Amino acid sequence: MKKKILVTGGDGRFAKILKEKNTKLNLYFASKKQCNILNINSITKAINKIKPKILIHCAGLSRPMKIHEKNIAKSIDLNIVGTANITKVCKKNNIKLIYFSTGYVYEGKNGNYSENDPVKPFNNYGLSKLGGECAVAMYKNSLILRITMTEKPFAHNKAYTNLKTNFIFHEDLVKYLPKLIKEKGIINIGGKTQSVYDFAKKNNPKVRAIRAKEKVIPLNQTMNLKKLLKILKTKK
C-alpha cells in the first residue's frame, strides 16, 4: 500500500497542478482552513485525521516578491514560523518532512551553486525560505528541495536575456517528486541552464527581450544539478 502523503498549501498554485497531474503518489491536500500552519493545534488535527507517513510542505508566501520587503511580518510568519511549526509537529509524530525551498537562498552572482556551497540570499524572500530551511534541517528525517520553477505558460510578456537560471515548470516537478520522495538532506531542483528569455520563448514566442540591471538583481542564479540528475537517472 502506498504511503499517505499530506500536502500543505493545498489550494496553492503548485498544489493545483500536482492534484491534476499526479498519478503515482497517495496524496491528501490540506487547504489553509484545514491546516493553518500558524496554529500547532490545526496542524496536529490535520495530521491526526490523515495519519500521513510523509508531509510535503508547500504552504507559504511567495509572490508578489515585493510583499517580502513591504510586509516582513507576514513573510516571517508564513515562511519561517509556519515552517518551524510544521517541523515541530512532524518531529513529534515521526513524519518524514519534505520542504519546498528556493534557489534564491544562493547569492546568485557566480552560478553553478552546489548543495554544499555557502548560502547568502539576495532578497527577503530568499531569507524567509532560508529561515524555514534552518528549522527543517534540525530534523534529520527531512528533505529540503531548493527549487527554481514557474507556471506554464510563462506568466510575463518580457524576459531577461542576461539573467541565467535553471527554470522548470510546475509540471516538471510533479514528474520528479515520486523519484525524490525517499531522499534526505538537500537537493537542488531545476532544469537546463539558460537565460530566462531562452526558457520563456520556447513556450511563448511573443515574449519580449529585456536586460536586467546587475545592481538590482544578481545575474547568474544557476545551480549545480548533478545530485538531482544522478537520482533521476538511477530511478527511471
Find the angle CA(44)-CA(130)-CA(182) to the nearest 5 degrees. 60
| Cis bond upstream, residue 205 (ω within 30) | no
Mean pLDDT in the chain? 96
Closest CA to 4 of 26, 31, 29, 23: 26
pLDDT score at 203: 85
Output b/e per residue, 38-77; b: 16+ Cβ within 10 A: eeeebbbebbeebebebbbbbbbbbeeeebbeeeeeebbb
Q: What is the pLDDT of residues 3-25, one digit of tens each?
A: 999 999 999 999 999 999 999 99
Say which CATH architecture domain 4-234 belongs to: 3-Layer(aba) Sandwich (3.40)
pLDDT score at 31: 96
Strand order across the beta sheet in which 142-147 lies: 26-29, 4-8, 54-57, 96-102, 142-147, 185-189
Q: What is the pLDDT of residues 106-139, one digit of tens each?
A: 999 999 999 999 999 999 999 999 999 999 999 9
pLDDT score at 1: 77
Share of the chain above pLDDT 70, in %: 100
Name the residue with cell 500552519. Answer: 37
pLDDT band, very low/low/confident/very high, at 63 (cuts 50, 70, 90):
confident
Q: What is the pLDDT of residues 202-236, one digit of tens each?
A: 988 999 999 999 989 999 999 999 999 999 998 76
Name the residue with cell 541552464. Answer: 193
Q: What residue spans define the domains of the chain?
A: 4-234
